[in-house]
């Protein structure tokens, strides 16, 4: 028996077959979860955001856009919107937490927890570099370089033309190369400008 496509499963879900949405969830949850971790640098936050993404996807099921027969690029777009809303609503709270002293260690931790913490530390280092980009350029870089979307898929996920994806990705890569060169030479990395934020 042929494996049903995302389009077929989505139509069944819209028609009331909740099990079909469960199949879609199992098919794409890992990819969405990993994408959320790459955006947040925190496994626990990524879990929370992933849950919201699929709840929001179900709520907006009539708005779905497929690339070929895949719903994954659209789910990445939903994730980007959920993360934007989360960052806006928690900005002050996170700033307050950063001012608190770090908690004291409470003895040895197991290898699995240590590995997760190490992943989070490395991801925060990467995010610090990526934060030098404008939000628009950062989202394109994350979609194409991290999530492996094609230009066409990224365009659907971000609701922009394909040409815009290409130009933003080229600008993001150029900016990161410049940042790496500054870091290697020991010079401070220039902050992004307001003009960069308003470029298409």
DSSP for 23-76 reads HHHHHHHHHHHHHHHHHHS-HHHHHHHHHHHHHHHHHTGGG---BTTB-HHHHH
**Pairwise CA distance, residues 113 & 70, whole Å:** 34
- Spatial CB neighbours of 59, under 8 Å, sequence gap ≥ 6: none
179 in any annotated domain:
yes
123 in any annotated domain:
yes
Q: Quote the pTM value.
A: 0.66
72 in any annotated domain:
yes
106 in any annotated domain:
no
Structure tokens given for 61: 């099921």
24 in any annotated domain:
yes
pLDDT digit string, tens, across residues 82-139: 998 887 776 665 555 566 666 565 555 566 666 666 777 777 777 777 888 888 998 8
**Pairwise CA distance, residues 29 & 47, whole Å:** 10
61 in any annotated domain:
yes
157 in any annotated domain:
yes
DSSP symbols for 134-160: -HHHHHHHIIIIIS---HHHHHHHHTS
105 in any annotated domain:
no
Structure tokens given for 153: 């898929």
Q: Are 87 and 40 in contact (CB under 8 A)?
A: no
Give the domain range for residue 164.
Answer: 6-98+113-198
pLDDT digit string, tens, across residues 91-101: 665 555 566 66
Count of domains for the chain = 1
């Amino acid at each position: 028996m042929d494996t049903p496509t995302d389009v077929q499963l989505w139509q069944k879900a819209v028609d009331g077959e909740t099990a079909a949405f469960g199949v879609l969830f199992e098919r794409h949850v890992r990819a969405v979860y990993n994408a959320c971790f790459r955006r947040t640098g925190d496994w626990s936050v990524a879990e929370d955001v992933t849950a919201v993404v699929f709840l929001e996807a179900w709520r907006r099921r009539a708005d779905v856009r497929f690339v070929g027969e895949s719903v994954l690029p659209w789910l990445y777009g939903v994730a980007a919107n959920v993360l934007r809303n989360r960052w806006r609503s928690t900005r002050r709270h996170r700033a307050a937490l950063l001012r608190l002293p770090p908690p004291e260690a409470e003895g040895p931790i197991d290898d699995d927890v240590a590995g997760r913490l190490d992943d989070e530390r490395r991801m925060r280092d990467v995010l610090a570099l990526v934060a030098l980009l404008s939000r628009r350029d950062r989202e394109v870089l994350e979609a194409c370089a991290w999530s492996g979307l094609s230009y066409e898929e990224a365009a659907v996920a971000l609701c922009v033309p394909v040409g815009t994806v290409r130009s933003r990705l080229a600008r993001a890569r150029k900016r990161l190369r410049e940042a790496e060169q500054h870091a290697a030479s020991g010079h401070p990395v220039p902050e992004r400008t307001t003009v960069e934020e308003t470029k298409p």
